[in-house]
Amino acid sequence: MSEVRVALVAEGPTDLVIIEAALRALLSKPFTLTLLQPEPTRPRFGGGWCGVLKWCREVAARGTISLETDPTLASGGFELFVIHTDADVAEASYSDGGAAVASAAQGLPALPCSKPCPPPEDSANEIRARLLAWLGMTTVGQKTVLCVPSKASEAWLAAALFADSHELLQELECNLKVEARLATLPMATRIKKKTREYQAKKAQITSAWGKVRRRCTQAERFSTEVENACP
């Protein structure tokens, strides 16, 4: 069975762990994942949502219609592109990233752009629209999926790990402090934002992905779009 080649643009390495764990639950074939951003050999973009923005603006500058048809990316033979940034970016300002980000954002839809939560999809939709604008596209190709957890990918981690009664699951997709709360839980359940700690939970995320989909509307949306892109 041939492997599916997946390209990922993400805020950082812990997001990669969670997204890769989700893909293991969603894709029927084995896959190899290539991290396009942040990419260790091209540190000039940096990480976080500002790095995603800079990567997208480079794509937009090439006049690319879709990632699938971008000649710069064609050599990778990718069959699925995943572009990630968290919905909490709706709370941010371009100036938060410094002069380079503020300059790159000229003419783009404004930040902040947060909407009342619930419902979580309103701010997520705002960020999805901004991802498209950053890419210079009006829509993505059939093999490209936008991944916008609300408010952050840590919501998906919490949804996978904890029982229904856990206090972190209350208004989970509207909680801007899930990452901070994970790091201050009692020692037995504490998870700090370190790649090795997320890696230790990777198999658990995969096995519990059905639960994540039920608990997080934006995980369900991501899952459906992946399944449609790679049936």
pLDDT in tens, 71-89: 999 989 999 999 999 999 9
pLDDT of amino acid 231:
81
Q: How confident is the model at residue 226 (pLDDT cuts 50, 70, 90)?
A: very high
Q: Are 51 and 45 in contact (CB under 8 A)?
A: yes
pTM, 2 dp = 0.96
pLDDT in tens, 119-178: 999 999 999 999 999 999 999 999 999 999 999 999 999 999 999 999 999 999 999 999
Q: How confident is the model at residue 103 (pLDDT cuts 50, 70, 90)?
A: confident
pLDDT of amino acid 43:
72
pLDDT of amino acid 1:
53
Distance CA 179, CA 158 (A): 9
Cβ-proximal residues to 90 (8 Å cutoff; 6+ apart), any chain: 111, 112, 113, 114, 115, 123, 126, 127
70 φ/ψ sector (left φ>0, alpha ψ -120 to 50, else beta): beta
How much of the chain, in percent, has pLDDT values that exceed 70?
Answer: 99
Q: Are 38 and 112 in contact (CB under 8 A)?
A: no
Flag whether pLDDT at 21 surpasses 60: yes
Domain-wise residue ranges, the chain: 4-229
pLDDT of amino acid 135:
97
Average pLDDT, the chain: 95
Distance CA 173, CA 203 (A): 22
| Three-class secondary structure of residue 15 per DSSP | helix
